[in-house]
Each structure stands twice: as structure tokens, then as C-alpha cells.
Amino acid sequence: MATFFLPGFGGLFQVSVLLINSIAILSEDRFLARIGWGSSQQAEPSFGSGMQDNASVKAKMINLINSVRTLMRIPLILLNLLIIVWAIAFG
């Protein structure tokens, strides 16, 4: 019986890509804004205020979600294609 997930580091790689995919597809309008996690709810630091080390966990999670959605778009496409080609080629 062939499984999609590879044992060892391959499985860990695929699981991490799936988790990043799940973060990347969250819709800000449909989901995040409704639960109060939209980027508009987060206060932007103004000039001279500097970075705040005491930012809440919620603000850090909003920053993480926005960063993943912005920076990982192209790499996720390539990683997903690599996983699809690997799964087709080697079962």
C-alpha cells in the first residue's frame, strides 16, 4: 500500500509545507477580519515609536500570517510543484 507521505525527513517536509499552505490560504476578508485578526485591527507602529517587544501574541500571529501570505507565495508554488512531481514520479 503506497502512501503519499514519505517517511522521515520527507514526511516532515511535506507536513511543514501543508501547514504553511494552510496559513497562506486564509482569507483576510472572509475569515480573519470576522474573528478580529485582520491587518486593519493591528495598530501600525508610527515613526519614532520603534519596535515594541511587549507586543501581544495576537499581534505577533497577525504579523506571521501576513508575512507568510506575502513572502511565501512564490516559494510555496515551487514547493507544491516539487511535491507533486515527486509524488507522480516515485509514487
Q: Residue 7: inside a domain, yes or no?
A: no
Q: What is the mean pLDDT of residues 82-86?
A: 89
Residue 7 has pLDDT above 90, yes or no: no
What's the pLDDT score for residue 80?
Answer: 92
What's the pLDDT score for residue 47?
Answer: 52
What cell numbers appear for 38 in the block? 485582520
Q: Residue 71: inside a domain, yes or no?
A: yes
Q: Residue 16: inside a domain, yes or no?
A: no
Number of domains making up the chain:
1
Q: Residue 84: inside a domain, yes or no?
A: yes
User: For residues 5 and 11, is the Cβ–Cβ distance under 8 A?
Assistant: yes
Domain limits for position 71: 31-44+53-91
The pLDDT tens digits of the residues spanning 18-76 come to 999 988 888 777 777 777 777 665 555 555 555 556 678 888 888 888 888 889 889 99
- Of the candidates 33, 26, 35, the residue with the CA atom closest to the CA atom of residue 67: 26
What's the pLDDT score for residue 1?
Answer: 46
Of the chain, the end-to-end C-alpha distance in Å amounts to: 10
pLDDT confidence tier of residue 77, bands split at 50, 70 and 90: very high
Q: Residue 39: inside a domain, yes or no?
A: yes
pTM, 2 dp:
0.65
